[in-house]
Amino acid sequence: MEIRQLKTFCTLATTRSFSQTAELLSYVPSTITMQIKALEEELGVKLLDRLGKNVVLTDAGRQFLPYAHKILNDVEEAKSVSSQLGELAGTVVIGADEVLCAYFLPPLLKHFRDHYPDVRLLFRPLSGHELKESLREGLADIVFVLDETVAAKDLHSEFLKDESFQMVVSPDHLLSSRSQLVLDDFHGEHFLLTEKSCSYRSHIHQSILKEANALNELEFHSVEAIKQCVMAGLGIALLPEMALKDELREGELVALPWDLSSISFSAQMLWHREKWISPSMAAFIHAAKCKLQTK
């Protein structure tokens, strides 16, 4: 069993793509195939299945993955202890939901790339519970969540900033000119919602849809799609303020006068408490605190 085979397997488990793995590791795709085949033959089990263009871990692959990550972490730790590192290098696997990826993280990612060009950032767009599970399964080093305060014993949570929410409609919507609203005003209205795993969707159900009997729901996997549909007059959306600044400033969306102060969400950076913090990972954490954290 070779270190490079384990690195290839762990990268492939993250990208779920032979071609992307080959590009990241500077191999040709056939080399990725040969390394995985050799690893499977040595272990005597099939680690993954290729379903069309998709790569899916088998049960054996999922069970083996944490051990592969631990071996690679131990190797990286041994290297950092036994040698004086010059320029930082290596890979940091990042996970975040769509909102933070699009509206919160870009300045950090650019800053880090400019200062640490030899560190490869591998990004995994995830949502909801997948983000925390990716840390527990060793699929990500650091994840960013927009959620209520995370208090998991196995995960370290670093507060970055509080986030406000707005309920928005198009300027032509019947409710756009109202100075105050009551629950009955939402009856029969269409609500454009994020996917069910989204952390703040449940708040909309509990505080508005359930009480107002507003059952007209349209579900989207993209915040940008929701905004475009709201601007087209298809309904009402409740979204983080960071995703709405441009449209509110340009008058393309109108914020409704509805009290959302009960929504207490913040951007947080998480990593597993038992994970060894490599120099590259430590540098990324420090950069995130400097660029994103508010007091």
pLDDT per residue over 89-148, tens digit each? Answer: 788 999 998 899 999 999 999 999 999 998 889 887 777 778 988 888 888 899 999 988
Q: Tokens representing 235?
A: 């309904």
Selection from 123, 125, 107 nearest residue 115 by Cα? 107
Question: How do residues 16-74 score in pLDDT, each as one tens digit?
Answer: 888 888 888 889 889 999 999 999 999 999 999 888 777 889 999 989 988 888 888 77
Q: Tokens representing 82?
A: 């036994």
**Given pLDDT bands bounded at 50, 70 and 90, which one contains residue 215?**
low
Q: Can you give the pLDDT at residue 81?
A: 55
Residue with tokens 């709201």: 230
123 vs 254, higher pLDDT: 254
4-18, 69-83, 84-98, 275-289: segment of lowest average pLDDT: 69-83
Domains of the chain in sequence order: 1-84 (1.10.10.10), 86-162+263-295 (3.40.190.10), 165-259 (3.40.190.10)
Residue with tokens 């699929």: 139
Mean per-residue pLDDT of the chain: 86
**Given pLDDT bands bounded at 50, 70 and 90, which one contains residue 208?**
low
Q: Tokens representing 227?
A: 């905004």
Separation of alpha carbons 24 and 18, rounded Å = 10
Q: Do residues 291 and 179 lie in contact, with contact meaning Cβ atoms separated by under 8 Å?
A: no
210 vs 93, higher pLDDT: 93
Separation of alpha carbons 31 and 55, rounded Å = 16
Q: Tokens representing 221?
A: 């996997």
24-33, 112-121, 211-220, 225-234: segment of lowest average pLDDT: 211-220
Taking the whole predicted model, whether its pTM rises above 0.85 is answered as no
Query: Stretch 188-202: mean pLDDT, rounded?
Result: 78
Q: Tokens representing 182?
A: 């009551």
